[in-house]
Amino acid sequence: MEYQSLYRRYRPGRFDAVRGQQHVVRALRNAVRENRVAHLYLLSGPRGTGKTTLARILAKVLNCENPVDGEPCGLCASCKSVEKGTSFDLHELDAASNNRVDDMRDLLSKVALGTPGRTKVYLLDEVHMLSSGAENALLKTLEEPPDHVIFVLATTEPHKVVPTIRSRAQHLELTLLPADEMAEHVRWVIEDASLDVGADIVSHVVRVGGGSVRDTLSALDQVVAAGGISHHDTSSSELLEALAERDAGRAVAAIAEALRIGRDPRVIGEAFLGVLRNVLLVSLGATSTQLTEAEHEQADVFAPRLSAATLTRALEVVGTALVDMRQAPDPRVDLEVALVRLTKPAADTTLASLAERITHLERQLAEGDRATAAPTAVRAAATTALPATAVPTAAPPATAGPATELTAPAADTPPRPGPSRGARDSPPGRPGRPSPASEARSQLERTNRPPARSEAPPASPASIPPPARPGSTPSSTAVPTAVPTAVPTAVPTAVPTAVRPLELEAIRGDWDAVLEAMPRKVRVRFSGVGVREVIDGTVVVAFPNEVHRSRCEEFRLDVEVALATRFGTRAPVRFVTDETATSRADGGERAGSAPYDAPPEAEADDVIDLAELTDAPRGGGIIEQLTSAFPGAELVDGD
């Protein structure tokens, strides 16, 4: 007996032998069992999914002499003639090669003729290839065929079939088989055919088949004939590795190796496009059922290393290269250029490439921030936990360095009313020296801010000069000498002289002193506000209403700085709304000893702190200002 290919040898002859198309099998079996067979069916789906096979089984069961529960017996003369291809009840026509009007007219002229069986079945394969004239000639017969005639149209592209034909047919869509079901079918074929192949062959043929039963069994036939897999193509894995490492040389070398073993550039590109899609699906958590176990493992390895933006751009670039290969004199060049553009973003100046480079940098920065987050938090905690030491009465003169020149402010300098000298002497457009609480707040923000990867480690707390007590003003000798090449670094001017416990009574007793250390505008906002309790180290400040609380929310850090300055220990502050806060304050339970003598809260925004003012720019009158703002302007009428 001559050899028969595996896909022909194991072509199903019954509905229950068809794999992976249960929805179509159920519809056809029920129609046969209940005698409700339609006059026109449209079977669509990828190649090798069973369209022609199902049409032949339908023709067999409709003319079977002994059908059982919608299944052909397979023993009668009609069933055997259909299996051999000699039946007069089944007429197959390849519409791809018989697509002319004359071919269709010849077929239709024989439709009304009788046959030995009960039903005449016409199978038109690749019906979307019919010409417009042939479709029009077929349309009338499809609409009202003879009672004993059934048409089955098969196509891989149903969208190309004219709507007038689709609307008259029952459309049944076939699908590709999942990888696990296909692997089970291949193992059954190997066992039934007594094939001597290794376990790795199953994964290989399932991947090559891509869900098509015919393609999978053809690949198995080829492997058996060759005595195993002729070569293991690793070009796709090498290209993924080159893309992840941004190694253009490795990508070009992988293409050269694949070409050396006989792979076509387009086949290489299509395979690479497939693995890119697999990695993208896995990275998005939308795993396809068509992936084999080996493809799953490969995608799991590269999904964390390639961002969605990189994979999307790679799919676009490789897909465009595959389209350009059709007209290229050397398709290899298009594929190599595409991979160089992907692995060397500097060689690609398109907007998509620039966006991908930005995404790559953001990802690197995010990974760097996560790596430095833990040590930064430890350093910040250690800095906050260190007790403050007493402020020395005199500091040794600082040596002028190449960048800054700093001296410790005197601790016993009496406070000076009005704006500081720094505020009066500052040039126009430059703010004066900030208040002590503002400087302490800035220093606290710098301490809590995680350093950039390129910066040096932060200085230890002992290396920071101790600033003065709250309320003190730096003396004129403490102003650093201007250095043309650098700007003096701000140093906090208010730190505690000793660490004190954060207890409720202590905070309430010093609440007025805490408010005094803050700018006047902040003090006004906190008029009539008291400390309600201390819970697990958190200071709870109560406000009489929600409006008052929301207006003071922006100064939460100022309060934390002032408390840390006063007590030597930083504690978080939480603002709450308590309608009884005002009554308690009037009854003597407020945080301070007496209410702060300040304007009402509604007038807080009108309070002006002279230390925060800057000098107006020097200049003449309004005419000179307009002339300088609009060069070339001339005064027309002086009156």
Q: What number is the average pLDDT over the span 163-182?
A: 92
What is the C-alpha to C-alpha distance for residues 166 and 42, in angstroms, rounded to an integer? 7
pLDDT at 231: 65
pLDDT tens digits, residue range 103-138? 888 888 888 888 888 999 999 999 999 988 888 888
pLDDT at 420: 42
* Phi and psi at residue 81, to the nearest 5°: -70, -35
Question: Is the model's pLDDT at 446 over the cut of 90?
Answer: no
What is the C-alpha to C-alpha distance for residues 613 and 519, in angstroms, rounded to an integer? 13
pLDDT at 163: 92
pLDDT at 493: 44
The class level of CATH for 504-612 reads alpha beta
Question: Is the model's pLDDT at 184 over the cut of 70?
Answer: yes
Q: What number is the average pLDDT over the span 493-515?
A: 72
- Nearest one of 55, 67, 123 to 94, comparing CA atoms: 123
| Mean per-residue pLDDT of the chain | 75
* Phi and psi at residue 481, to the nearest 5°: -70, 135
Tokens of 372: 């430095």
pLDDT at 176: 92
Question: Is the model's pLDDT at 140 over the cut of 80?
Answer: yes
What is the C-alpha to C-alpha distance for residues 411 and 408, in angstroms, rounded to an integer? 9
User: What is residue 292's three-state secondary structure?
Assistant: coil
Question: Is the model's pLDDT at 156 over the cut of 90?
Answer: yes
Tokens of 613: 């003012």
Tokens of 480: 């650093």
Q: How confident is the model at residue 467 (pLDDT cuts 50, 70, 90)?
A: very low
166 exposure class (CB count in 10 Å sphere: 0-12, 13-18, 19+): middle
Question: Is the model's pLDDT at 322 over the cut of 90?
Answer: yes
DSSP 8-state code for residue 386: S
pLDDT at 414: 43
Terminal Cα distance for the chain, rounded: 120
DSSP 8-state code for residue 392: P
Q: What is the pTM of this model?
A: 0.52
Across 224-233, 307-316, 351-360, 367-376, the highest mean pLDDT is recorded for 307-316
Question: Is the model's pLDDT at 48 over the cut of 70?
Answer: yes
Q: Which CATH entry fits the domain spanning 235-355: 1.20.272.10, 1.10.3210.10, 3.90.1580.10, 2.40.160.20?
A: 1.20.272.10
Question: Is the model's pLDDT at 498 over the cut of 70?
Answer: no
Question: Is the model's pLDDT at 474 over the cut of 60?
Answer: no
- 15-18's contacts with Cβ under 8 Å and 24+ in sequence apart are 15/54, 15/57, 15/61, 15/70, 15/71, 16/71, 18/50, 18/53, 18/54, 18/57
pLDDT at 213: 93
144 exposure class (CB count in 10 Å sphere: 0-12, 13-18, 19+): exposed
pLDDT tens digits, residue range 333-386? 999 999 998 988 766 666 666 676 677 677 777 776 555 554 554 444 444 444
pLDDT at 561: 87
Which residue is associated with the tokens 């084999």? Answer: 292
- Least confident range from 7-21, 226-240, 350-364, 472-486: namely 472-486
Tokens of 306: 């390639």
pLDDT tens digits, residue range 18-45? 998 999 999 999 999 999 999 999 999 9
Q: How confident is the model at residue 626 (pLDDT cuts 50, 70, 90)?
A: confident
DSSP 8-state code for residue 117: S
pLDDT at 365: 79
Contact 603, 551 (CB under 8 A): no
Q: What number is the average pLDDT over the span 570-585?
A: 70
Q: CA separation (Å) from 130 to 42, 107, 153, 163, 385?
A: 14, 13, 11, 14, 84
Q: What number is the average pLDDT over the span 581-590?
A: 44
Question: Is the model's pLDDT at 432 over the cut of 50?
Answer: no
- Least confident range from 39-48, 495-504, 554-563: namely 495-504
List the chain domain ranges: 6-173, 179-226, 235-355, 504-612
* Phi and psi at residue 388, to the nearest 5°: -80, 145
What is the C-alpha to C-alpha distance for residues 312 and 616, in angstroms, rounded to an integer? 55
Question: In what order do the strands lie in the sheet containing 90-94?
Answer: 90-94, 120-125, 149-155, 40-44, 170-173
Give the torsion sign (CA, 578, 579, 582, 583).
negative
The count of C-alpha atoms lying within 13 angstroms of the C-alpha of 249, restricted to the half-sphere facing its C-beta, is 0
Share of the chain above pLDDT 70, in %: 69
- Nearest one of 211, 218, 220 to 177, comparing CA atoms: 211
Classify domain 6-173 by CATH number: 3.40.50.300
pLDDT at 382: 44
Contact 391, 467 (CB under 8 A): yes
pLDDT at 638: 57
Question: Is the model's pLDDT at 597 over the cut of 50?
Answer: no
What is the C-alpha to C-alpha distance for residues 324 and 332, in angstroms, rounded to an integer? 11
pLDDT at 383: 46
